[in-house]
Each structure stands twice: as C-alpha cells, then as structure tokens.
Chain A
Amino acid sequence: MQFLTADTRGQLGFGEIWSRIKPVSALGRSLHRQAEAFLPAQKGQLVEEWERLALISAVLRENPKACVGLKTLLSHVPDVTDCINRSLTDSTLSDADFYSIKKLLRVARDIKGELARLGWGGVLPAPLDVCPEVLDALSVGQGDSESFYLADAYHEKLAEIRSKRFALEDKLTQRRKQVEDHVFQAVGRVFSTEDELAVSVSDQETIAVLENIPQLVRSEETPDCVKFRLRLDESARELQRELRAVRAEEEQRKARVRERLTGVIAEQEERLRKILSILGFLDFLLAKAEFCASCGGVKPNLRDDGVVSIYQGRHLLLEEDVTGRGLAYTPIDLELKRGVTLITGPNMGGKTACLETVGLLLAMAQFGLLVPAEKLEFSPRTFIAARLTAADNPKGLSSFAGEIAFIREVVRVSDQPGLILLDEIAHGTNPTEGAAIAQAVLERLNGQPPITLVTTHYPALAQLEGMGQLRIRGLDHARLAEMWSEDTELDLELFHQAMDYRLEPVKEPHTLKGDVVHLAEALGLDEKIILRAQELVKRGAEHG
C-alpha cells in the first residue's frame, strides 16, 4: 500500500499543507513534487532531516529574513540537466547553454559563500564542490562578467579573424552610411527599406535631387511612386564576398571552441549533476524550514514501542478555520498504541478533527517536516489510510460500498505498522447490522500492528473490551447553564463556547453521551420537535 494515497492526502489536508512549501528554483520545485515519505527503514535519514530543519527554522524564528540572500541566489539557479545530457551526445552545446552552465557555477559559488557566512555548511548532504575549473573555462577573456561570449582569447586566430570582419563590416557600413547621409542631408529621408528609397510622384523636387546622387539608381516607377536603389559597384560586391568568407571562417573557429567546451562539460558531468542535486536539495530544505518556522513546528521524537504520543497537536487548516471565525481552537493530547482505539463523543465535538490531526501530524513528520505540536513521539508508519465522513464521499449504497472497499484494503495490509483512520465506522447502513459489521472489523484489527483510530456513535462499540477508548469531554452543562439565560438563544456560538473539545481516556466500557438534542436546538430545529425529542430521550433513559 502507498504510504499516503491521493485520496488520504486530500482528506487530511496534507495536499494543502504541502502546497504551502514553496521552493524558488525549478530544481527545488521538482524535488518538492517528487518527494516521498521516509519509511520505517529510513529512520536515520528522517532524524537527520528533522535536525537540519530544526537548526534552520530556529534561526528563521529569530530572524525571518535570515535566508533572503540565499533564497534570492537559489531563485537564479538554472536547471542545466538537459545541457549536461546533450554534452554526452554528438551535439555541440550552444552559447546559450554555456551561459546557463556558467550562471549555475557563479550562483553555486555565491551560495557556498553565503552558506559559510551563515554557518550552515553542515546542512548539506555533501560538501558543495563548485567546479572552479569549469567556471574558469567558461570565463576565458570575459573577466568576471555574468554574460557569456566566445571571446578572442578562446582561440589564437579568433582575434585576427574578427578584426578582419570588423574592418570589412566597417567599410561596407561606411559606404552605405555615406549614401544615407547624403540622402538625408539632401532630402531629409531615411531609406524605405535596406536598399531602397521610394518617393511619391507628387514630390518631383525630391526625385530630381535623388537622380543626381551617383550611388543611387532609379529602379522602379509606378503611377504613384518612383523607387531608387542603392547602386552596388564591383568593389562593394567584392567586400561582401570577402565578408561572407571571413564570417564562415569565424564560424568554423567558434564551432571548434564550442566543441572543446562541450567536451569540458561532458568530462565534468558528474560534478555538475552533483551541484544541481545539492542546490535543489538546499532550496527544498529552506522552503520546508520556512514553512516549519512559520507554523511553530517542533522536532518529533522517535520511539521503538509503536506508541504515538501527541501533546498539544494542532491541525493547521482546522486551526486557521476556527480562529478565522473568532473562536478558540483546542489542540489535542492523546496516546495511541497498536491495535484499535475508539473515539466517542457528541456530534460536532471534534472526533473527525482528531482523526485528521493525528493523520496530518504523522504524515507531516514522515515527510520530514517539523510538526505543529508541543510534542510528538511516534514510530514511523508504513502507511496512513483515512476514510473520513467529512470528505466528499458518495451517499447510500455507494458510500457503504466505498467504505467496505477501504476496510478490505486496510485489513489486507494489517500485518504492517500503518495508521488507519476510520470515521463513523459502518454508519452508512442500518444501525443493527452496521454495528455488527463495525464490531467484527474492530475485533479483526485489534491487536494487529497498525494503529487503528475509529470514531463511532454505536453504543455497542463503546462497550467493547480490550480496545483503547478516548472520549471528547463534550458539552459542559454547568458552563452552558451559566451562559444560557432566558434572554439568550441557544445558538452555535454559545454551543461552541460551552463545548469541551478535549479528549480523555476512558478506562471502563461506558454509555455514550450525546448532547444531540441540545445541538439540534442550537442548529435551529423547531421547538416542538426539540421538546418531543427530549421527552423521548428521557423515556428511553427511564426504560434503560
């Protein structure tokens, strides 16, 4: 089973959280897209990753702008993988390719300096070798310029050939310029095209002037205009021929230099790829560290006993939603062991939120992130699988069918230490048979390697022995009575304020406490219906 399926990613809000990590280079973004979780066999690497993040995010918490310079440099890192690959084929790299590789090496050099200044050299998985020889090879005759030019110094003949070309170009340009100047002074006109000047037949004065310029020839006449063409004499044609020949020679020389430089790139292929890999890693690491610093993440601790222990764990998206509505958010505290743990409690008491929080925190931790909690201790899982009611599941039979497919899959992998999150188990069918199926599933999963966390409203399940039990404390009736006077209506805000969302362990099998009628009232259900429901609840309690 995949560590985190796309479906579970979405249900836990992991996709949204992951999208908030924003590398600035194409290399970093590629690593971000392809990132996979650290599995139990990679504990050592996982701890190293957390330690790197803890080091950087501690600095960032002190000074959020500490790595602005580094990030700016990283944003300029070009991905030259394609250039490196082409250098290994028969093709010769272009000047644009050399520019990109030179840029990479200059940026890598500056990043190395910046890392040393920050004292962060140790966060890299390997020392950053910035290939100074290749940078030198791409900087011949160019000083410390960022640009790339096949300068004269690349080939002993290049300067000579270029000098010939400049002289020829200059001669041709000067000849043309003389005529253009003459025309401009005489009639105030610029040529219509490279070689032609058109004049309206209505402007006989200009036509007469142009006819007296020996370097122009009357080339065409229409009813509307007369065209004059630049006269090209034999010496000009000879200059053009020479120029073509010199250009061809220059191109040949430059082609040889390009071949040589391509060979240098091919020879240093491995070192160049290593630079790309390290810079991509660094970019991704900084993006994660920025995220972790922004959410007050802490370094998780690993345990070997399979227990998950969370203290003051927060689901960032739920927290944003709750506090965004001006309400107080309650972090969760819990401890989970292998086998099944049930969570019971009233509707809107936060049972689903508990599942989401546990799943998200463990997913974040195993993707190498620091986690928003006071403390998280756990053993890495081989998979996280969630089926939450809040998710956009189909209703009726198809919803039930979907749940059964999910259960079938998690039972299949129940010999592995995964994390299974099941919300309102078997609620999509009739209560008697639903409860029976639920009990059978829980009995099958209990005692198995996965941690299975299940929410339910089935009273029978709360009576089961041998499984962990947690309960949302629920409505604080004393508090509610205090706040709910005759002048105030019971609304959702009041309900929320009177609700105690904390979890508490339940030692003995117990009867479920609903608070559902109060909730229905707070949600605005008709008063008569509420009264009748209260009467029925009371009668049910009296009859046991």
Chain B
Amino acid sequence: MLAQDLANRFRSVSIIGLGKNTGKTFTFNYLLRESRRLGLSTAITSIGLDGEERDTITGRAKPQVVVYPGQIVLTASSLLTASSLDYEVLAATGIASRLGEIIIVRAMGLGRVVLAGPSNRSELEQLQEKLEPFPHDLLLVDGAFDRRSLSAPAATDTTILAVGTEAAWDREDLLGRLKLQWQLLTLSALDNQQLLSSIETIPNDAKLVVFCGNTPQHIIYHSDSPGTGGSWPTYTEQGIYTIFVPGMLTDGLLAQVLPKNVPTSLTLLVPDATHLFLSRRSLDILTHRGVSLKVLRQVHISAVTVNPYSSRFGCAEPLSLLQDVGRVVEPVPCYDLNLGLRYVAKEDADAVSHR
C-alpha cells in the first residue's frame, strides 16, 4: 500500500497538483483510508488557501474530510467549532488565518471537518514544530492549487504529484506541462561542499549572489533599487560561475540575471524546485546556452497519481493516461488510485498492474 510505504520512510507527505482539480484531495482522502486500514495514526492539514470557506479557484465549498477517533487535525478554530466533531484541544499554534487561529486537536469520535491549515511554507514548518510533541506516524498535507501551496514539498519529507486532465485535455499539452514540471521538480542538487559552505555565509537580505569559483563576487540586495546593485562582474571564459537566487526564479528575473556572454561554466542555483517558476522557453534557452540549473535541496517525490476526469470534457481513457504519465515519471511509481492501478514498465510494451 502506498500509505504503508510512505509511513515506513517519511514523517510528512504533501500533495501538490499539476493544476486545479487534478485529484489532490482525492489522493489525500485515499491515503487517509489506506492509513486507517493499516492502523497508522495520522495528522492532517492543508496548505495554500488563507482560510477561505470556499475554494477561491473553483468557487465550490471546500470538501469536508472524514475524521476518525484519535486522528490529529490541524485547522482553523472556527471550522472546528462549526463541525460536529468531538475533539480535545491539544495546542494553539499562534498561526492566524481568516477563519481563526490554527489549532491542533485530537478527534474523540467520528466526524467531518473542513481543513484550512497554514497558508505558506514557513507557517507549515512552524506547524510541524508545534505538532512534534503529539505522536503520529504520518502528517498528510493537502495542497490547494496556488503558488503558496506549491512550496509545501520544501517543508515536507516527500511529495505526491497529482496529474489530471483538468490541467489540459489535449494529451500532448498535458504531457508537455508535466515534463516541464517534472524537469524542475527533479533537478539535481549542487554537489560542491565548498560552495555550499560559502552560500551559508551570505546575508539573509541578498537577492542574488554571483560566485566565481567558490567566492562571492557580487551581491544584489533586496533593498537595492533597480540599477543600483553595482556593475555586474566581468565573466572570463575560463571562470566557473554560479548565480545563486535565494528567492523565486521567474522568467522575468532570469532575463535580467542571465549574462549576455555566458562563460564556459555557468550554473544557476535556487534553494529548491519550489522556487522555480520558469517556462519551457526559459528552460530551452538555458539548455541552448549551456547553463546548468541546480538546487540546494532536492525535492523528494514518492509517487504520481492520475485523474482522467475533466469537468469540461468528461473522462479520458484511464489506462492510456496512466501509461503516458507513467512513462514520463518513471521510475517514480504512478497510480490511478480510483481504479487501483499502478503503471509498470515492460520491455515490449507498457502495462498496468491491478492492485
């Protein structure tokens, strides 16, 4: 079972999606059912939307999650008050949301509750610290589809990516988006201890740092107004350069930071894949110009799930979707949890296994 595999290896799992309605909450609920079957004690929360009662993207009421006795729930206080759940308040987190402070409770019976947890990565990290004194096998974090929830993988031990036809009905388009996201999510980590040590010493308010070898050569601060960050370093052909961007790397920022004359060895470095918001075109430019893209910390992905249902076009053929997605993400396991199928690569032809 997927939940068993996760609980054996990790303490926290986030679920992110390739788009809205791609099956994140379905995956989340499925993992809860598996966990219950296995007798695992779980803590549950969500990330991404700031305590809205309605999903700000779809406009639908946020779904209630079935909660079982003993389960730990992290959600906004007003949602608990409105639920029929009998619960024991274990801790108040001090993290505020529009629906009240996020509190940690233990369910004392069966019930249903709406989850509205932290709104960003930093809050999720704080929440995990507050959760520490309360024993649990696995923390499951349901992600909303927005930028902030995409930061969840950086704050959890592992991640599940939900891919659905709602993101793109056209298969080529869908796989193109998946490949781009996959390329970003699976970027390799920098393997240069000296440079890593050097990065630890850079000031917190640095917006961008250019290293020549392992030495910081030029720093632009957040407080620098445009054009006042001093002149850019002169790149020499033999030099080994690394540009470290501690914040978000977007297409716009990339256009600004990429030198016109790229030296022989140039690496663009970000803290982790959740800081990358680059288009296919930008990635192609980097490849074309021989620029390598790396992360400080690799995001761990345990599994990919597929959802063939599209609100506009109906249901896609599930087996072919599983195979198409499975081929892209291999060797990471790919599931259609609804049908209980897992993609298995075979030498002659792809296949699915019934679980």
A-side residues, CB < 8 A to B, are 78, 94-96, 98-100, 103, 147-149, 162, 165-166, 169, 172-173, 180, 184, 188-194, 198-200, 202-203, 206, 222, 224-225, 247, 250-251, 254
- Interface pair A165/B109, CB less than 8 Å apart: yes
Which residues of chain A are near B106, meaning CB under 8 Å?
A: 147
User: Is the pair B315, A99 in contact by a Cβ cutoff of 8 Å?
Assistant: no
Q: Give the residues in chain B near A199, CB-CB below 8 Å.
A: 339-340
Across the interface, which residues of A come within 8 angstroms of B90, CB to CB?
Answer: 147
- Chain A residue with Cβ nearest B314: A222
Flag if A206 contacts B84 (CB, 8 Å): no
Partner of A190, one of B1, B94, B315, B336: B1
Tell yes or no: B101 within 8 A of A by CB: yes
Q: Are A225 and B318 in contact (CB under 8 A)?
A: yes
State the Cβ distance, A222 to closest chain B Cβ, in Å.
Answer: 6
Contact A191 B354 (CB under 8 A): no
Cβ of B53 < 8 Å from any Cβ of A? no
A-facing residues in B68-104 (Cβ within 8 Å): 69, 77, 80-81, 84, 86-92, 94, 100-101, 103
The listed residue (A98, A188, A225, A251) touching B84 by CB distance below 8 A is: A251
Cα distance, A250 to B108, chains bound together (Å): 13
B279 in contact (CB, < 8 A): no
A150 to chain B minimum Cβ distance, whole angstroms, is: 8
A-B contact pairs, 12 of them (CB 8 A): A96-B89, A149-B89, A149-B108, A162-B109, A190-B37, A192-B339, A198-B339, A200-B319, A200-B336, A200-B340, A225-B318, A251-B84
Enumerate chain A residues within 8 angstroms of B33, measured Cβ to Cβ. 190-191, 194
> How many inter-chain residue pairs (CB < 8 Å) link A and B?
99
Q: Are A190 and B92 in contact (CB under 8 A)?
A: no
Name the residue on A nearest B92 (C-beta): A100
Inter-chain contacts of B34 with A (CB < 8 A): 190
What residue of chain A has the Cβ atom nearest to residue B336's Cβ? Answer: A200
The list of the 6 closest CB pairs from A to B, nearest first, reads A99-B89, A149-B88, A96-B77, A200-B339, A148-B89, A192-B338
Task: Choose from A96, A103, A224 the contact partner of B100 (Cβ within 8 Å).
Answer: A96
Interface string of B140-179 (1 = CB under 8 A from A): 0000000000000000000000000000000000000000
A203–B354 contact, CB under 8 A?
A: yes
Contact present for B87 and A95 (CB under 8 Å): yes
Residue of B nearest to A100 (CB): B92
B1-15 interface mask toward A, CB cutoff 8 Å, 1 = contact, 0 = none?
100000000000000
Cβ contact within 8 Å between A147 and B89 = yes
Residues of B within 8 A of A198 (CB): 338-340
Q: B317: CB under 8 A from chain A?
A: yes
Residues 325-342 of chain B: 1 if any A CB is under 8 Å from the residue's CB, otherwise 0?
000000000001111110
Q: For A225, give the chain B residue with the smallest CB separation.
A: B339
Is there contact, CB below 8 Å, between B318 and A250? no
Q: Is the CB of A200 within 8 A of B77?
A: no
Which has the most chain A C-beta neighbours within 10 Å: B86, B87, B89, B94? B89
| Nearest-Cβ distance from residue B112 to partner chain A, whole angstroms | 10
Q: Quick check: B84 and A193 within 8 Å, CB to CB?
A: no
**A95-B89, A166-B109 known; A247 and B317 CB under 8 Å?**
no
For residue A248, which residue of chain B has the nearest CB? Answer: B84
Among candidates A162, A184, A193, A225, residue contacting B86 with C-beta atoms closer than 8 Å = A162
Q: Are B355 and A188 in contact (CB under 8 A)?
A: yes
Q: Which of B26, B80, B338, B340 contacts A96 (CB 8 A)?
A: B80
Residues in A with CB closer than 8 Å to B109 are 162, 165-166, 169
Of B81, B86, B336, which contacts A94 at CB under 8 A?
Answer: B81
Report A-chain residues with C-beta under 8 Å of the C-beta of B91. 99, 147
Chain A's closest residue to B340 (CB) is A189
Further contacts, 4 of them, CB under 8 A, given A96-B81, A96-B100, A203-B339? A166-B109, A190-B340, A194-B66, A222-B315
A149 to B80, CA, bound (A): 13
Min C-beta distance of A530 to chain B, whole Å: 32
Closest to A250 in B: B86
Smallest CB gap from B133: residue in A: A146
Q: Which residues of A contact B341 (CB under 8 A)?
A: 200
Tell me whether B302 is interfacial, beta carbon within 8 Å: no
Q: Does B310 touch A at the CB level, under 8 Å? A: no
In the bound assembly, the distance between CA atoms of A100 and B317 in angstroms comes to 52
B100: nearest residue on chain A (CB-CB)?
A96
Q: Provide the residues of chain B in CB contact with A173, threshold 8 Å.
A: 110
| Interfacial chain B residues near A254, Cβ < 8 Å | 86
Q: How far is the CA of A165 from the CA of B109 in the complex (A)?
A: 8
B29 within 8 A of A: yes
Contacts of B26 in A (CB 8 A): 193
Q: A78-B92, A192-B337 are in contact. Are A94 and B77 (CB under 8 A)?
A: yes
- Please give, as numbers and ranges, the residues of chain A lying within 8 Å of B338 by CB-CB distance: 192, 198, 225
Residue B235 CB within 8 A of the other chain: no
Please report the C-alpha to C-alpha distance between residue A162 and residue B86 in the assembled complex, in whole angstroms: 10
Q: Which residues of chain B are within 8 angstroms of A147 by Cβ–Cβ distance?
A: 88-91, 106
Does B30 sit at the interface, judged by CB under 8 A?
yes
Q: A342 to B338: give the CA distance in the assembly, Å.
A: 86
Q: Given the complex of chains A and B, what is the CA–CA distance between A95 and B106 in angstroms?
A: 12
Q: Nearest chain B CB to A273's CB is how many angstroms away?
A: 19
Q: Is the CB of A190 within 8 A of B103?
A: no
Tell me the nearest residue of chain B to A184, going by C-beta.
B37
**Nearest-neighbor residue (CB-CB) of B104 within chain A:** A147
Q: How far is the CA of A378 from the CA of B39 in the complex (A)?
A: 72
B68's closest neighbor in chain A, by CB?
A173
Among B29, B337, B339: residue with most chain A CB under 10 A: B339
- Residues in B with CB closer than 8 Å to A98 are 89
> Closest A-chain residue to B103, C-beta based?
A96
Known: A190-B33, A194-B66, A225-B339. A96 touches B319 (CB 8 A): no
Give the shortest distance, in Å, between B105 (CB) and chain A (any CB): 8
Instruction: Tell me the nearest residue of chain B to A103, going by C-beta.
Output: B92
Contact (A224, B87) CB under 8 Å given A78-B92, A149-B108, A193-B29: no
Q: In whole angstroms, how far apart are the Cα atoms of A191 and B29 in the complex? A: 10
A502 to B204, CA, bound (A): 39
Question: CB within 8 A of B317: which of A95, A103, A165, A224?
Answer: A224
In the bound complex, residues from chain A placing their C-beta under 8 Å from that of B352 are: 200, 202
Q: How far is the CA of A95 from the CA of B338 in the complex (A)?
A: 37
Contacts of B340 in A (CB 8 A): 188-190, 192, 198-200
The chain A residue with its CB closest to the CB of B85 is A247
Q: Which residues of A lie under 8 Å from residue B339 when comparing CB positions?
A: 192, 198-200, 203, 225
Partner of A206, one of B80, B88, B89, B354: B354
